[in-house]
Amino acid sequence: MGTVVNIIVGSHVWVEDPDEAWLAGEVLKITGKDAEIRTSNGKTITEKLSKIYPKDMEAPAGGVDDMTKLSYLHEPGVLENLKQRYELNEIYTYTGNILIAINPFQRLPHIYDAHMMQQYKGAPFGELSPHVFAVADVAYRAMINESKSNSILVSGESGAGKTETTKMLMRYLAFLGGRAATEGRTVEQQVLESNPVLEAFGNAKTVRNNNSRQDSAPLFTKWQERSRVCQISNPERNYHCFYLLCAAPQEEIEKYKLGSPKTFHYLNQSQCYELVGVSDAHDYLATRRAMDIVGISAKEQEAIFRVVAAILHIGNIDFAKGKEVDSSVPKDDQAKFHLKTTAELLMCDAVALEDALCKRVMITPEEVIKRSLDPASAVTSRDGLAKTIYSRLFDWLVDKINNSIGQDANSKCLIGVLDIYGFESFKANSFEQFCINFTNEKLQQHFNQHVFKMEQEEYTKEEINWSYIEFVDNQDVLDLIEKKPGGIIALLDEACMFPKSTHETFANKLYQTFKAHKRFIKPKLSRTDFTIAHYAGEVLYQSDQFLDKNKDYVVPEHQDLLSASKCSFVQGLFPPLPEESTKSSKFSSIGSRFKLQLQSLMETLNSTEPHYIRCVKPNNLLKPAIFENQNIMQQLRCGGVLEAIRISCAGYPTRKPFFEFINRFGLLCTEAIEGNYNEKAACQRILEKMGLQGFQIGKTKVFLRAGQMAELDARRAEVLNNAARIIQRRIQTHYAHRRFIAMRKAAILLQSTCRGRLACKVFESKKREAASVKIQKHARRYEARKSYKKLHLSALVVQTGLRAMAARKQFRFRKQTKAATIIQARWRCHRATSYYKRLKRGVIVSQTRWRGRLAKRELRKLKMAARETGALKEAKDKLEKHVEELTWRLQLEKRLRTDLEEAKSQEAAKFQNQLEEMQKKIEEANAALVKEKENVKKVIEEAPPVVKETQVFVEDTEKINSLTAEVESLKASIDSEKQKADDTEEKYNELQRLSEERRQKLEETEKKVQMLQESVHRLEEKLSNLESENQVLRQQAVSMAPNKFLSGRSRSIMQRAESHIPIDAMKAAGLDMHSPSINHRVDSTEVDDRPQKSLNEKQQENQELLIRCVAQHLGFAGNRPIAACIIYKCLLHWRSFEVERTSVFDRIIQTIGHAIETGDNNDVLAYWLSNASTLLLLLQRTLKASGAAGMAPQRRRSSSATLFGRMTQSFRGAPQGVNLSLINGSNSAGVDTLRQVEAKYPALLFKQQLTAYVEKIYGMIRDNLKKEISPLLGLCIQAPRTSRASLVKGARSVANTAAQQALIAHWQGIVKSLGNFLNTLKSNHVPPFLVRKVFTQIFSFINVQLFNSLLLRRECCSFSNGEYVKAGLAELEHWCYKATDEYAGSAWDELKHIRQAIGFLVIHQKPKKSLDEISHDLCPVLSIQQLYRISTMYWDDKYGTHSVAPDVISNMRVLMTEDSNNAVSSSFLLDDDSSIPFSVDDLSKSMEQIDIGDIEPPPLIHENSGFSFLLPRTD
């Protein structure tokens, strides 16, 4: 707290204000014990030093999440911290382990969704941002781990959000433990749906809230305001259930004979019938649905609402005076109607009901007397019956809900949620407020004890002395209320016992008894009121209705009436009473009963570990973004938060970790920083140098008494002010010296300028004198020269005229000579040109005629080529017919296939030769044409010139004209020849194009022929496979027969058949002479009488051997897993894919499952992932569903009708479409040459199981890597506190470097784990496609974990932490670069959220950035909610800069409000995707071809003859 010593001029302080509670200000002047302060609103006030408190100017802009971290723990500091966080929509704040929740009055779904619950699940308390889920999680973990009961106390005034907070608590607890389902309803559903039921029957609208709860401790004990059933005041409402029933569907209203709420006495006492924005009809249906979920049957629901309707009708039964004295009867027909309706609804006798209301039975030793009641007493009896029925109904509902949810009475531990009304102080306070405040006094005592206990635990943990700390208790108030025999409740019960007692006598008794009690105050102007000084303030109570509200008579007539009801539900509400209690009306004190219930509740709380949540209503307008300081301070005072602060201030209110203390106050003792001291010793030296007393130094923190923090800040401010003065003095000296130097330099410059100016004037005068002499000299010279030039010019004019005349004569003569020469030259040129043109025309004509002749020759050649192309077409047609004939012959006789292929190849070669010859001829013709053109050109060039210059005389104009006409005709003929030549060339090109098209058609025809042959071959193989399968079935039938030996006739047929099979035919049929089937048959011919081993037994042995073999680690052949290849080849050879029933698939799956059973050996998992994915790829490219082959039976029989055909087909050991030569390694084309196998159901099921195992193994590998890097991720996001601690050391740069290396080590650990996993996957040849998917999901997981941690921890949203995380991300980027795109893929892109968030943290000049720049340029991936969260949580621990501008924050809020209206989730957290990100088709497309031909079998089966087909063979 502030003291006179701590406050100096210039200090920033808090001063009390009647309107705003506290105002910030600056001390201007101190006069004695008073200080003059300029406040933040511009006013200047004077206040005593003892009433002002220091303000922490270094507090974070967004406040602190735990107010025990405040440097100054006082009322204005707490209020300002809450206000700052509320402005940022941070509605939760810790005070130690107490949670303060401020009602935002708006929906914030993003902080309550499943993402957020998952984040807080199992998180240590205080690690994440304050939240109601954190409190619930701590209670749940303590119950589970320590087997200790816990309680959560939610308190606050009406409208503070207690109900919603309780809902969130129960929802989270149900999320953690409510998994069991009862009759199709989960515990979570039942817990959550119990709230609407309890709200309907236990909540009402009060003056301060539309949904005020009149009960406490949901799901345990309920205390109700029973008087509300009969008495309400304007503008309150009765319990919601009455209005809901009046708004029920019409058939319900008619059944219960209800109407508008205005027609019922219990409802029309207030003018408030409806709530704004609330539909009673909708809530009625919602309540019925909630009852269904909770477990209340339809019959019970009908009975419940029948009882509720009966209570409404009871209230309308009015009474009038009867015929007898002091008697009463129903007032009118309307009252009789309601009486009758009530009896019908309660299923009791109407006359008995009237007697129970109007009469009383008095039992005396002599006789039984029946006494009538007057109308007033009858009304009291009526209201008592209504309250009793409603109270019993509500108790039944609570018990039903508890039993439905499954509360185990024998459970050893529990979590109790106490939703308690807060301290109440109205203008008129009655018995209800007295009970409520009594409860809060009890809970406040429990709260104070808990806070004191927490303080003790903190001090014990830090090993400091705390024995002298005093604890302020409120036991005196509790004794005033509940002490026996002299407490208020005892006196109230005593007054209720006497019939003649009134509230005046009760008040006088209180005045006499407690006149000396310091907590009891008698008002001066009232004779019946009294005041109690509670912990939260003084409350004035009106005792007018204390006696009436405390009385609760158990009327035997009411009990007997309802016990005899024909409705079993009503009977259950009123079980029979003991015999002695039925004799007369027995008084029961509500206050005493309430005290006993409260005592029981406190015993339950004392046996549990308490957790406190204080709900606060920020304003009375119930609107968002309004923070009323006075209102909140009162609630903090009533909620005990300020009392907890006072308890903390009694000890050590300021607790600073060593590094923060040194960082703030290290300048007070520089030698402690520069010396080689540890943190604790440095703090000790700082405090000792300051001369403080009473402080304590714990293991990790410095504990300061009240006022010591302000004193240290004052000393710090003094040191900083002295340092500032020294700096200012030095700066001012520097400025003065610099001004002197400048002035001296200016003076010297001015003097030199003046001297220079005088010298310039002297020089100017001398210069003018010399200039005048020179001017005179030049003037005389000018006059003399002028006269001379005039004479000289006259002579020149005469000479010029004479010379011009002579020149003009000479020019005219030369001009005439030149014109004559030009005329002669032009005539000679014209004559030579005319001759040349005639000669040129003749040469062109001769050339044109020669070219035309050559073109005609070429045209004849092209026509001949066209005729040859027609012959080629005829040959092609013949070839097609020949191919058809060959195809038909191939179907009939297989042995001619080789000859057909040879003939086809010869014909193709012949046609190819003919085509090549034709092309050669065309090329020769083209070459000849080119050569001819070159020869003509050469001849023209070598021809001697024929143009000679001879004199030609034009004799006649007609001759010239005839020659001109001849030349024109020659030109026309040349043009026509050129046109013909062009047409010929076009025809040639067209013919050449047609020839090319025909050649292509010929090639296509050849391909079609080849495809037809392949299809024929494929169909034949299908027939042969069907026959071989038939043969296998026959052999199995023979082996299963009683006689296991072939008959002699069969053996002879086999021998004859085999002896007549030529070797060539066997080769043509694709037989391998070394195959086991051939050897087996040869052996059988040699030894006829030796018994054959059962085929099934041999197959079982082979399968057993295969399983034992693949269970071992067989390794890899190149990049191919041996086990997968061996399994595939064996299954193909055994034809397992085509049988209807086999066990080999199940055994293979069991082997894989047993191998990966442990799930923690990544090397084993990677090995089986490689094998399973390879085997799945082979199956995907081989298997197809059966039923596709629908061949005609006749075709099937004709293919193997002969004995030779059946025997040939029986020798085939490979399935359809698969050559034995391929399996044995002779074909290197790979799997793509395999044709698909028609798989049966077991094979298809095996493929599905294998797919599931690939996905399972993939998920196990991914999850193992997540588990390995998760602990390191938590360390990577922590704030770099080690850098702060390095301030103690002398060499800061070295320490910072060490701190950086220590933090980067965590990232390097992640990189090392990723590298090890990559090496494991690569060594086991896992397909790169799967490796990319694994690391893409792992990087997505890293992105989610880092980003969510960043948004949930304010200490992580700092500048320095952004730099460290950025350095760590650089390590991951480097790893991706080294891993290459083949294995890393797009993993780096998955970190886009954390990369952009970190980029925002480390960018400078954030206040200058606009929202458009931030959301589109800097962080385009982040949502507005995420940007808002980062912007409000950011703090610069390195340079002290601010976050984004306030207008940007405001714009973000507006956008968030608009987004909250959309259906899209507004959660700012990311969700980790744990799905399988690929399908079998994706895997198949991504993997390359696999050649399994040259795989060497393992040693275990290498020498076994049954697996000889696995041996690679060469032709």
Residue ranges at the known binding site for ATP: 156-163
SS3 string of 1380-1420?
A: HHHHHCCCHHHHHHHHHHHHHHHCCCHHHCCHHHHHHHHCC
Q: Tokens 């509200």 identify what position?
A: 549
Could you give the CA distance from residue 730 to residue 1337 in angstroms, rounded to a whole number?
61
In which order are the strands placed within the sheet that holds 529-534?
A: 520-521, 529-534, 537-542
User: Helix, strand, or coil here: 267?
Assistant: coil
Is residue 642 within 8 A of residue 636, CB to CB? The reply is: yes
Return the axis-axis angle of helices 1144-1155 and 1241-1276, rounded to nearest 10°.
10
Amino acid at 571: Q
φ, ψ for residue 429 (rounded to 5)? -115, 125
| 702, β-bridge pairs | 656, 697
Q: Give kind and range of the element (H or E) at residue 609.
A: strand 609-616
Q: What's the rounded Cα separation, in Å, for the pair 47 and 52?
A: 7
How far are the Cα atoms of 306, 369, 384, 529 from residue 583, in angstroms, in the given order? Answer: 30, 12, 18, 37
If DSSP states are collapsed to H, E and C, what string results for 1372-1387?
Answer: HHHHHHHHHHHHHCCC
Contact 650, 472 (CB under 8 A): yes
Q: What angle do CA 894, 896, 899 make, to 5 degrees?
A: 145
Do 713 and 654 touch, CB atoms closer than 8 A? Answer: no
- β pairing state of 415-421 and 520-521: unpaired
Q: How far apart are CA 1025 and CA 69, in angstroms?
A: 84
Q: Are 64 and 11 in contact (CB under 8 A)?
A: no
Q: What is the 3-state secondary structure (H, E, C) of 779-845?
A: HHHHHHHHHHHHHHHHHHHHHHHHHHHHHHHHHHHHHHHHHHHHHHHHHHHHHHHHHHHHHHHHHHH
Whole-number Å distance between alpha carbons of 1179 and 1127: 11
Torsion over CA: 341, 344, 345, 350 (sign):
positive
| 1154, two tokens | 């047993």
Q: Around Cβ 1090, how many Cβ atoms within 10 Å?
A: 10
Cα–Cα–Cα angle for 61, 65, 66, rounded to 5 degrees = 120
Sign of the four-CA dihedral 755, 760, 761, 762: positive
CA 459 centroid distance within chain: 41
- Residue 287: helix, strand or coil by DSSP? helix
Closest by CA position to 384, among listed 553, 180, 172, 213? 553
Q: Give dist(CA 293, CA 749) in Å, integer.
A: 101
Q: What angle do CA 365, 370, 372 make, to 5 degrees?
A: 140
DSSP-based three-state secondary structure for 419: strand
Q: Do the Cβ atoms of 451 and 688 come closer than 8 Å?
A: no
Q: Is there a contact between 1135 and 1215 (Cβ–Cβ < 8 Å)?
A: yes
Residue list for the binding site? 156-163
